[in-house]
Chain A
């Protein structure tokens, strides 16, 4: 069981370039999320999707976009990367249980120069 797969694992990117972080899950979870994690800060929600075909903005959505064409895939796009977007990005999905705990991908470490 793969769970959630993210790609790439790590990427160095020049400022101004476009970048898409891929996320795929095989658990048939309806809800999916993109977080960024920066040193000394809690996980911050960028965008989320409660079900295929719908998306919503989180706490820090500026500079990012997402799409949810089907249940399994939830890509995150940086249209024009800036150095402040250097971070570790985690994709997650939530279970259908009453707790709704999150399952995370292994993360994508992005450096924007």
Chain B
């Protein structure tokens, strides 16, 4: 079966760095997405990786290793507004998105 694993919850301190991991087992691979979802709101797109390596976008970076079925989202200089859930999703061989359950990130002052 297809599976996306990510930690349920993480806690970090304002101003610090946090890495949220995502491992996947899917039938085929056509890209990996990270979305941010604040409580009670809709998910919003953060990043997309289809080739191995690091994609940097401001304070956020996303890494992909297709051979290991592994990605991480790196958040630097954490701000209180970064408190949210972070959803990992993989597009499979049929171009359907398979979603992880999300990682709730709690930022403490």
- Where the two chains meet, the residues of A that have a C-beta atom closer than 8 Å to any C-beta of B are 40-45, 58, 90, 99-107
Residue-wise interface mask of B (4-17) relative to A, using a CB-CB cutoff of 8 A (1 in contact, 0 not): 10001000000000
The docked-state distance in angstroms from the alpha carbon of A40 to that of B96 is 20
The smallest beta-carbon distance between B43 and chain A, in angstroms, is: 5
Residue in A41, A45, A100 whose CB lies within 8 Å of B101: A41
Question: B99: which A residues are within 8 A, CB to CB?
Answer: 42-44
- Where the two chains meet, the residues of B that have a C-beta atom closer than 8 Å to any C-beta of A are 4, 8, 31, 33, 35, 41-45, 48, 87, 89, 91, 95-102
B43 to A42, Cβ gap below 8 A? no
Whether A106 contacts B42 in the complex (CB less than 8 A), given A42-B87, A99-B31, A101-B48, comes out as: yes
Question: B45: which A residues are within 8 A, CB to CB?
Answer: 101-103
B96 to A42, Cβ gap below 8 A? no
Majority DSSP secondary structure for residues of B touching A: strand
Q: A90-B43, A99-B48, A107-B42 are in contact. List 16 more A-B contacts (CB 8 A).
A: A40-B8, A42-B89, A42-B102, A43-B43, A43-B87, A43-B99, A44-B99, A45-B97, A100-B31, A100-B91, A101-B45, A101-B48, A102-B35, A103-B45, A105-B42, A106-B42
Question: B48: which A residues are within 8 A, CB to CB?
Answer: 99, 101
| Centre residue among B45, B97, B100, B102 by max chain A CB count within 10 A | B97
Question: A107: which B residues are within 8 A, CB to CB?
Answer: 41-42
Whether A104 contacts B96 in the complex (CB less than 8 A), given A40-B101, A99-B31, A99-B48, comes out as: no
The smallest beta-carbon distance between B92 and chain A, in angstroms, is: 12
Question: A41: which B residues are within 8 A, CB to CB?
Answer: 101
The smallest beta-carbon distance between B96 and chain A, in angstroms, is: 7
Whether A101 contacts B33 in the complex (CB less than 8 A), given A41-B101, A43-B99, A44-B99, comes out as: yes
Question: B98: which A residues are within 8 A, CB to CB?
Answer: 42
B31 to A102, Cβ gap below 8 A? no
The smallest beta-carbon distance between A107 and chain B, in angstroms, is: 6
Whether A106 contacts B41 in the complex (CB less than 8 A), given A42-B99, A43-B87, A99-B48, comes out as: yes
